Structure 1
Amino acid sequence: MKKNILSAILFAVSTVVCAQSSSMSFGVKGGYTLSSMKFFDAKLDSKSYFYVGAVAEQALSPKFAVQAEVLYTQLGGKESYPWTQLVGNEVVNMGDMNFEYQMNQIQVPISAKYYFIPNLSASVGMNIGINVSTKIKTSSLFNDTAKDNYAGAKTINLFPFLGAEYKINDQFFVDARYHFDFIETNKSQHVPTKVGFLQAGVGYRFK
């Protein structure tokens, strides 16, 4: 597994290096990640976070290009359960117990792009998500927040996606993409877990 992680990182780094030594364009980007997590078919509350990273694009023709990125972000979900206690013969609601699932990831999205017009393109691809750490954060009205390891998560996750990009000018662009929850993100088959997420942000390409 460590070899797979190293290979993915080396591929991403080599892509960036090639971007500086060829006719590829190179830039940076950042924005907003909104993820949705499912246990079985039960959807958890959405989790929002930021993403930041680098992007390289190689034009194949006036209409087609390939793009590779290296991003850092966090995925996950939230859920709450009522916390009750028996006081005498009465069940008393003590507030909610809150759980937040956190998957800190280095992501390597690889995509094929089609330009409808010079400034507007659509993309399809695969995002390789490499978990750096996985945690469960618990909190309630009466105790301090605590973090524990989130056991069972796969180290490497795959997220197919569709997206679009608009170039404001030669340097600045905006883009958005949705990653589908087709592939399970945990090792255990007892609790099937899937994550889908939206990313939207802005970027800058160097000349």
Structure 2
Amino acid sequence: MKIKFLFLFLVLISFELLNAQIKPEFGLKFGVNLADMRTDENTLSPRSTFHFGFEAEQQLSSKWSLQTELLYSRQGNVRRGRTEEGVKFDNILALDYLNIPIFANYYLKDGLYISSGMQLGFLLRAQLQETVGTDSNQQNVNDNYKNTDVGMIFGAGYKTDWGFNVGLRYNWGFTNVLKEPLAYTLVERNSVLQLYMSYRIK
């Protein structure tokens, strides 16, 4: 149902863009991720990673615009703790997504704006690196995770007249991305704080 709603949202936005009189702006975007998972365990730590891609913004009025992006985003989390024998473990879950956020910008004053919208993500890779004491190994865990993720995005930023854009965004995932419960958790939902910069090609 969430994916159907997002698809309808995409169709409506496409219709608005086709009827808009002002030409859209296109840009290159990159930034850092502080990625984590909302789960029922307490041994998690954020994973510092990155994202990059393309963006397009269509101004609808002096206050409102619609924006869509195509982003490669590295997400996941880190589990740290000790085994029952007291040995330290440090497990890194790497989830790589192709994300398509679509959202509205509302300009408060000059180039200052706030944003809110939806995001659809497609899983590209799921890899787990397990380190227990001095032993370490990597394994592909794609079969443990769903292929799609749906969520909300909220953010704020500032855009200059000459095309430079900087902002902060939070991605709040709706979807339990686990196909089946794991031994240490029943649910994992993406949670990503992003600091980004972009440049509009004019």
TM-score (norm 1): 0.79
Question: Distance in 2 between the 1:184 and 1:42 partners?
Answer: 17
Residue number in structure 2 paired with 1:146: 138
Contact 1:74 1:102 in 2 (8 A): yes
SS of the aligned residue for 1:180 comes to strand
> What corresponds to 2:171 in structure 1?
179
**Residue 201 in structure 1 maps to residue 192 in structure 2:** no
Tell whether the 8 Å contact from 1:38 to 1:44 is kept in structure 2 after alignment. no
Shift of 1:171: 1.3
The SS at the match of 1:61 is coil
Q: Tell me by how many angstroms 1:141 deviates.
A: 2.9
What CA distance in whole angstroms lies between the structure 1 residues aligned with 2:181 and 2:61?
44
| Secondary structure of residue in 2 paired with 1:145 | strand
Which consecutive aligned stretches of 4+ in structure 1 deviate over 4 angstroms post-superposition?
none
Q: Report the equivalent of 1:25.
A: 25
Q: Relative to 1, partners in 2 of residues 1:97 and 1:42: Cα closer, same or farther, differing over 3 Å?
A: closer
Task: Provide the alpha-carbon RMSD of the alignment.
Answer: 2.4
Match of 1:110 in 2: 102
1:60 offset after TM fit, Å? 0.8
Amino acid at match of 1:168: T
Match of 2:128 among 127, 136, 157: 136
Counterpart for residue 96 of structure 1: 88
Alignment gaps of 5+ in structure 1: 86-92
Contact 1:159/1:183 (<8 A) preserved: yes
- In 1, the alpha carbon distance for the partners of 2:173 and 2:141 equals 22
Q: Could you say which residue in structure 2 is the equivalent of 1:55?
A: 55
Residue range with higher mean Cα deviation, 150-159 or 50-59: 150-159
Q: Percent identity?
A: 26
Letter aligned with residue 82 of structure 1: R
- Match for 1:75: what amino acid? Q
Structure 2: 5+ residue runs without aligned partners? none
Per-residue CA deviation, residues 151-195 of structure 1 (Å, 9 max, x unaligned), is: 331111012011112013321110111112443222336711112
Distance 1:100 1:180, change over 3 A: same
SS of the residue corresponding to residue 81 of structure 1 reads strand
Give the C-alpha shift of residue 84 in structure 1.
5.8
